[in-house]
With several copies, the nearest count.
Chain A
Amino acid sequence: MTKEQNDTLFEAPPMAEQERMVEAILFASAEPISKRAIADRLPHGCDVSEALVHLRKRYEGRGVKLVKVDDAWAFRTSPDLGFLMQKERYETRKLSRAAIETLAIIAYHQPVTRAEIEEIRGVSVSRGTIDLLLELEWIKLGRRRMTPGRPVTFVVTQVFLDHFGLESERDLPGVKELRDSGLLDNRPAPGALLEDTEAEVDLENEDQDDMFE
């Protein structure tokens, strides 16, 4: 209502002040904003175009730049600093019991099918566990077993060997060594004392036949 009066009473603010105003509006606006919309918000008589030129210049070479999107304006992070907008978080996690057991079985019994792993562990193996080990590249798919259903087998990888500081699967401590190092109790095992893992693997393979009819 007193708009007209105001127009005559008050002159447009000085350019430096106009620039500040445009700066604040662009900063706070939730979307890029057109010259027109900026002008609507500024006191009468402001020169948005000129203020934008000044402002753009002011931000030249800064961490933020004034950009034109279609016919609207917005502040954006300088493209060369895009890498700062990525946060890398490193986490070290312990493998779950299921994962480490599954891994151990694959290492000692490879090539081994999922059904066999379940047989040995006595519980089913979740898809996630296998996926995680595959993702870590500690295991990979071996040849399919020539049994009904042609199940895939799993074997350990070079990455696995590197991670655990092994030169080959043969370096895995055998059952006897496990026992000697106190990791297994000293109860005499029924049947043949397995001297090395290979023998054991064979045994497991033999067993398979009557496991799966």
Chain B
Amino acid sequence: MTEPTQTEIEDFEQTTQERIASESLLVDVDGFEGPLDVLLTLARTQKVDLRKISVLELSEQYLKFVEEAKKLRIELAADYLVMAAWLAFLKSRLLLPPDPTEEGPSAEELAAHLAFQLERLEAMRRSAAKLMARDQMGRDFFARGIPEAVSQNRKITYNATILDLMQAYAYIKTKGNFEPLHMIERDRVFTMEQALGRMRTLIGHAIEWGDLNQFLPDGWRDDPKFRRSATASTFAASLELVKEGKLEIQQSELFAPIKLRTKRSQ
């Protein structure tokens, strides 16, 4: 968008140019960043220190701006109208003699705060411009183009004391209350090593194709959790033996029984 220039705003006050100027202002309503922005733009026409600005005059200008917008059927966002209402209220308060019974901030205080807000916004705009006018990296100055990587050597020392060790062992030992380990209490894991060991002794007997299930150890076939673990490890062990060239494995289709037999030597 193009911000209205100083002259455009001055035209705003002149009757002949009023229409055109106000249109150019109003067409840019979308470009304004809210009512405070409009107020600041209007305030600049007063060409005085923002602290000494006439809030009364500013209110009138703003209300006029809103009127024009209405005439031109331009939809104004609610916050523009809220500001208009507040300024109309402030204007009336500024014109009437103060009511001594009324509590809360005086009209002058409110007007002073508005002037402060405008001045602060203006100051931020100027600062933003100064900031952007500074030398910038990647435009005016540059960092090293070929940075050299720093290699990180991480050295980790693990710490454990004899007490940690004893406590850990004590924990394991008390966990089972010193009962000898029974089959029942055994964890439901048939390890790969166990399966492999078992399969090695069994494959010699598997001359014909036999179902994988037949190779599961006793006591691991009924309970589903036991069976699952034993099946998985036995299957993995079988694959290992196939890899070693000691076993053949086949499955006719998806989910069909997996069959095993000893690899026949030619």
Contacts and interface: CB of A to CB of B under 8 A. Distances in A.
B158 A103 contact: no
B174 A89 contact: no
Contacts of B173: 175, 178, 184
A99 to B, nearest CB: 8
B81 interface: no
A51 B226 CA distance: 69
Contacts of B155: 88-91
B147 A184 contact: no
A148 interface: yes
Interface string B109-153: 110010011011101111110111011111111111111111111
A189 to B, nearest CB: 4
Contacts of B151: 85-87
Contacts of A211: 181, 186
B105 A190 contact: yes
A94 B159 contact: yes
Contact of B131 (A74, A107, A150, A207): A107
Contact of B168 (A31, A101, A150, A207): A101
B138 A89 contact: yes
B191 A115 contact: yes
Q: Which of B35, B169, B173, B181 has most A Cβ within 10 Å?
A: B169
Contacts, number: 289
Interface stretch (B8-16, B193-201, B255-263): B193-201
Interface residues of A, number: 73
A59 to B, nearest CB: 13
B159 A91 contact: no
Interface residues of B, number: 85
A164 B165 contact: yes
Q: Which of A120, A148, A191 has most B Cβ within 10 Å?
A: A120
B49 to A, nearest CB: 11
A191 B170 contact: no
Contact of B143 (A30, A107, A149, A191): A30
Given A77-B142, A113-B193, A121 B36 contact: yes
B174 A151 contact: no
B187 interface: yes
Interface string A73-99: 011111100100111111111110110
11 contacts: A28-B145, A30-B143, A86-B153, A89-B138, A91-B155, A119-B186, A165-B141, A178-B127, A183-B120, A190-B105, A211-B186
